[in-house]
Amino acid sequence: MSLLSIILLPLIAAFIGWFTNWIAIKMLFHPKQPKRILGITFQGIFPKRQAQFAEKLGQIVANDLVNIKEIVSSLNSEDAVHEIKPMIEVHIDHFLNEKLPQKMPIISMFISKQLIAEMKSTLMDEIIEMYPQIANQMMTSLEKKISIQKMVSDKVAQFSSDKLESILIGIMQKEFKFVEIIGGVLGFIIGIIQVLLSQI
């Protein structure tokens, strides 16, 4: 075997290894529409399976990522109550000091500042006590009316093929590049092995 062949064989094998992997990755997304060639229909895996992919993703999001019970639990946590408490306090202050005198001017004349403060404290305690019940009822109602699984599945199913490709490449770009490089490296190694075997 000539020196040129010894040099070229591993390089050609590396190119073939890289190119075949590059083609395989492209075939994940292309052709986007079914193409019939020699009686065989070709279509990219993701465009062909987009509906199934959307349905599976909806199941994963609904079952493993967005859990209604966990949302309710976080809403009922001490931190969540602590965060909304100032907002509730502002609304009660506004009601007792501004709205009540406007709507019931006669009654407001007999209400002292101390009584307003006591009413505010009582209302705050009652609202904070009722808050977990209200949050639970709201989430139960939302769970009945909204299907997270269907919402995600419908959204992903409606993506254009270009958008789906863009999202998946954005997520897996490094992995795809790694697969291409590995193809080239393995091809190069196979080429060297072929050269060595030819010398035996």
Residue 187 has pLDDT above 70, yes or no: yes
Residue 70 has pLDDT above 80, yes or no: no
Answer with the residue of higher pLDDT: 111 or 18.
18
Question: Tell me, what's the pLDDT at 67?
Answer: 67
Residue 43 has pLDDT above 80, yes or no: yes
Q: What amino acid occupies position 157?
A: A
Question: Tell me, what's the pLDDT at 181?
Answer: 93
Distance CA 140, CA 138 (A): 5
Distance CA 192, CA 8 (A): 10
The three-state DSSP-derived secondary structure of the chain is CCHHHHHHHHHHHHHHHHHHHHHHHHCCCCCCCCEEECCEEECCHHHHCHHHHHHHHHHHHHHHHCCHHHHHHHHCCHHHHHHHHHHHHHHHHHHHHHHHHHHCHHHHHCCCHHHHHHHHHHHHHHHHHHHHHHHHHHHHHHHHHCCHHHHHHHHHHHCCHHHHHHHHHHHHHHHHHHHHHHHHHHHHHHHHHHHHHHCC
Q: Once rounded to an integer, what is the mean pLDDT over residues 119-125?
A: 85
Question: Tell me, what's the pLDDT at 183?
Answer: 93
Q: Once rounded to an integer, what is the mean pLDDT over residues 8-37?
A: 89
pLDDT-derived band at 1, boundaries 50, 70, 90: low
Q: Which of 20-24, 25-29, 51-55, 96-100 has the lowest mean pLDDT?
A: 96-100
Question: Tell me, what's the pLDDT at 186?
Answer: 94
| Residue ranges covered by each domain of the chain | 3-198
Phi/psi of residue 41, nearest 5 degrees: -90, 125
128-183 tens-digit pLDDT: 888 777 777 777 777 676 777 788 888 888 888 888 888 888 888 899 999 999 99
Distance CA 120, CA 70 (A): 31
Question: Tell me, what's the pLDDT at 68?
Answer: 67
Any residues with CB less than 8 A from the CB of 32 and at least 6 apart, and which?
43, 44, 47, 161, 162
- Average pLDDT of the chain is 82
Distance CA 185, CA 193 (A): 12
Question: Tell me, what's the pLDDT at 89?
Answer: 85
> Global pTM?
0.57
